[in-house]
Structure 1
Amino acid sequence: MRSVALLDGGLGQEIYRRARELSSPLWSVAVMLEQPEVVTSVHEDFIRAGARTLSLNTYAATPTRLREQGMLDRLEAIHQQAFNVLEKAIKAAGVDVDIAGCLGPLVGSYKVQPDRSFEDLKAEYDTLVRLQSRADVFLIETMTNTLEAKAACAAAQASGKPYGVAFRLEDDGKLKSGESLSEAIAAVAAYTPTAVMLNCCDPELVTDAMPELVGLHPCVGGYANAFKSVEAMARGGSVDVLEARPDVSPGSYTEEVRHWLADGASVVGGCCEITPAHIRHLADTLADEYSFVRFSQLAGLD
């Protein structure tokens, strides 16, 4: 039976949905500061659903974004809180899982390449890696350009821990920067990521691109979103304006994931609007065909 790393789902969006009365540019981080029990409950639900690698709720907690909100002085406290709420959930569930440090875009999701140098970007990612040094693995997510991806990879590689890097594709199958998937993989190859993935794009896009991705890196995967469109947010809107696709049910999402696995994916999970119910259905439906493991276990399966 082939081993597959099973990630959690759309952590931030699930947290935000459960605390809908709160609206903030910091998204689920703001919920964690005011209602930490909500974040713990979401983590626990994903663990009980079958996820074996759980991301810290720090996607929006970059120095750049906190500085914009006048909260840079709370950077370390926010990261400590992210560990506290996740560790509480792990203890409650009593399941052995990986804690994944989260390295997302430094400015915001769905943007083009920042007007910054590699050294400047890497220094900020170095800070995030240091703050999340207790993590078992790192996940670099929603990369839209190779400059930011390389900076994040350099910081994650220096940690000495397993890590994956995930790119987001636009409808044309390219990154927001205009770079192709093959160019993106080639750009990070020297940093030897454990896995290269696609995330936060339509499930159908991941399905279409997976055969090519499998041929470009030894260990690959995908975790898609279920948004109708992210264009409003890409233009500067908040997560409040985003809508979920009603057709991406737990059953239909599992069928897309089945295609990825058949093509050779070794890492699956979900991104925004993929709920614990989706992950549970996926884990239960495919349990007879695949052994779901922690991301850190992939390094020893070659």
Structure 2
Amino acid sequence: MFTKEVKDNRRSIALLDGGVGQEIYRRARDVSSPLWSVAVMLEQPEIVTEVHADFIRAGAKTLTLNTYAATPTRLRKQGLQEQMKVIHQQAFVALERAINATGVQVDIAACLPPLTASYQGQPARSFEDVREEYDTLIRLQAGADVVLIETMTNTLEARAACAAASELGKPFGVAFRLEANGRLKSGETLAEAIAAVEGYSPAAVMLNCCDPELVTGAMPELVNLYPVVGGYANAFKSVEAVASGGLVDALEARPDISPEAYAALVRQWLADGARVVGGCCEITPGHIGFLADALAGEFNVVRFSQLGFYSPFEGD
């Protein structure tokens, strides 16, 4: 019997996980540390695996290593620089165990975060100095499938991270955080930020770890500035406590960002042209699961590494 092949004309989008670090930290028992979810991994590694597995079961196709706080600068401040290699190895083990437990094929994403702390301005460092630190992180996470450069608040770190990531020869994306005025913490505009990194040819340029309303407002501009874009917002009431030097313990989630509400926001980003979506801090496996179910019939949900092999529409 002859069966006609049906061509999938759905638009392809990459679905990331949610706020891995915050979810790990929330589930931990009596852990309070400037190293955040990395401290949890050192004491309760099973929690990290459980969180990764929950995001995979929810439908995320690209999972980020739990290394956001494991930069050389941060570990040095806590006297843990000698454990840097072991910490990164533990992050791989935790995620690989989750992948094995679920039996789902996903991308492992290396994480290149701000080197000193989130929500800061331009660091008083040279490009070469910053680049060297990101080179170290790339070496430690070279086994990843893709690289996500996240929560960039200035073009110095963004350029240095892109330079390091581009040497790996794997797909990488860079995500900027916007302040309430629509600019980076450094004062640079979104257009200036993209101009600073486009020469490195990232697979996607995104917005992350800012209010979802800011992502909504900026997405039309972002779509016009770069070929492949996306967004994954946080659901904090305010990040001022951390921006002022406090611990993440002080942060509170917004009760109005339910899974349904977040999915509606993401749908608007997709309608504007986004092709990479997911969640940042306080976006839980429940949010990602609801989102995955809501988008399943309308979009072809793929891994981040597959974006380069797909045109915006499968039929093109």
TM-score range, shorter chain: over 0.9
Determine whether 1:268 maps to 2:268. Answer: no
Q: Deviations over 1:57-109 (max 9, x none)?
A: 00000000000000000000000000000000000000000000000000000
SS in 1 for 2:267: helix
SS in 2 for 1:159: coil
Determine whether 1:34 maps to 2:43. Answer: yes
Q: Equivalents in 1 of 2:122, 2:190: separation in Å? A: 16
Correspondence for 1:224 among 233, 251, 256: 233
How far apart are 1:20 and its partner, in Å? 4.6
| Percent identity for Structure 1 against Structure 2 | 74
| Cα 1:271/1:292, change in 2 over 3 Å | same
Determine whether 1:296 maps to 2:313. Answer: no
Gap runs ≥5 in structure 2: 1-9, 312-316
Q: Equivalents in 1 of 2:280, 2:24: separation in Å? A: 13
Q: What is the 5 A alignment of 1:1-302?
A: 1-302=10-311
Q: Equivalents in 1 of 2:279, 2:227: separation in Å? A: 21
**Which structure has the larger Rg?**
2
Q: Equivalents in 1 of 2:99, 2:236: separation in Å? A: 28
Q: CA RMSD in A?
A: 0.5
Opposite residue 228 of structure 1, the aligned amino acid is K
Q: Equivalents in 2 of 1:146, 1:74: separation in Å? A: 29
How far apart are 1:291 and its partner, in Å? 1.1
How far apart are 1:286 and its partner, in Å? 1.3
Q: Equivalents in 1 of 2:291, 2:87: separation in Å? A: 31
Gap runs ≥5 in structure 1: none
Opposite residue 9 of structure 1, the aligned amino acid is G
Opposite residue 252 of structure 1, the aligned amino acid is A
Deviation above 2 Å: which 4+ runs of structure 1?
Answer: none
SS in 2 for 1:86: helix
Q: Equivalents in 1 of 2:285, 2:63: separation in Å? A: 12
Q: Equivalents in 2 of 1:71, 1:171: separation in Å? A: 35
Q: Equivalents in 2 of 1:114, 1:60: separation in Å? A: 17
Number of aligned pairs? 302
Q: Deviations over 1:90-139 (max 9, x none)?
A: 00000000000000000000011111000000000000000000000000
Q: Equivalents in 2 of 1:115, 1:181: separation in Å? A: 21
Opposite residue 137 of structure 1, the aligned amino acid is V
